[in-house]
Amino acid sequence: MTSTIPKVFFVIGPAGSGKSSVSRHLAERFGAAHIDKDTATTRFTELLLKLNGSDPNERDNNEFYQNVIMPLEYASILDLTRDNLRAGNSVVLDAPFGRFFPDDDYLAKVRAEHQWPDAELIVVHVRLAGEALRRRLIARGYPRDEWKLANWETFWAGAQGDSCRWRDARHLDFDNSGAAVDVNDFAAAVTAGAA
């Protein structure tokens, strides 16, 4: 029996690009654990924001969230990833990670700080044009998207300017402009790259 090391898929892209749908399909296709930052952390995030006297839905423009809560959210999901990797499970991480893009060595730091065992790291860039993304944000109607929509030019300029510079991983694009998520071509690219 051949042993293969587990994979960690970092599914990144701006809010509304379809990270969650892509993540669910990848987790199913590769038999991986699916760790969604919102599912894993929203309850404690909203409570901490309320206790701080902040709007529980305000994140983009909230200094307390950005500097105190958000690092806890990411530390939590990265620790959950470690636990899954130690059990031999591949993991799909569904989170924006935007703040960490400029740090070339981010993945090496994550491996060390969170004591990850060996794993193949794949960064999945979910792509979607601006107007299509804005329509998706409007359609889903999340309170946490209100700031993004009210400040669309600022939000979209920031989303376009964020370039992930991480080393020590394969970077693959996932065009999510279709009506339905199709992971077949992407899965073939993952398999081909591993050969």
Write down the pLDDT at residue 127.
75
For the ranges 17-31, 87-101, 161-175, the one whose mean pLDDT is highest: 87-101
Select from 3.40.190.10, 3.40.50.300, 3.10.129.10, 3.30.1330.60 the CATH code of 7-194: 3.40.50.300
- What phi, psi does 176 have (nearest 5°)? -105, 30
Domain boundaries of the chain, sorted by first residue: 7-194
Query: What is the spatial distance between Cα 94 and Cα 77, in angstroms, rounded to a whole number?
Result: 9
Which residues are CB-contacts of 174 (< 8 A; sequence separation ≥ 6)? 11, 22, 124, 125, 126, 127, 186
CA distances from 75 to 50, 100, 112, 166 (A): 21, 13, 12, 18
Write down the pLDDT at residue 4.
86
Write down the pLDDT at residue 2.
40
Query: What is the spatial distance between Cα 4 and Cα 162, in angstroms, rounded to a whole number?
Result: 33
Query: What is the spatial distance between Cα 149 and Cα 138, in angstroms, rounded to a whole number?
Result: 8
Rg (CA), the chain: 17
Q: What is the pLDDT of residues 170-195, one digit of tens each?
A: 999 887 776 556 676 777 777 766 54
Q: Whole-model pTM above 0.75?
A: yes
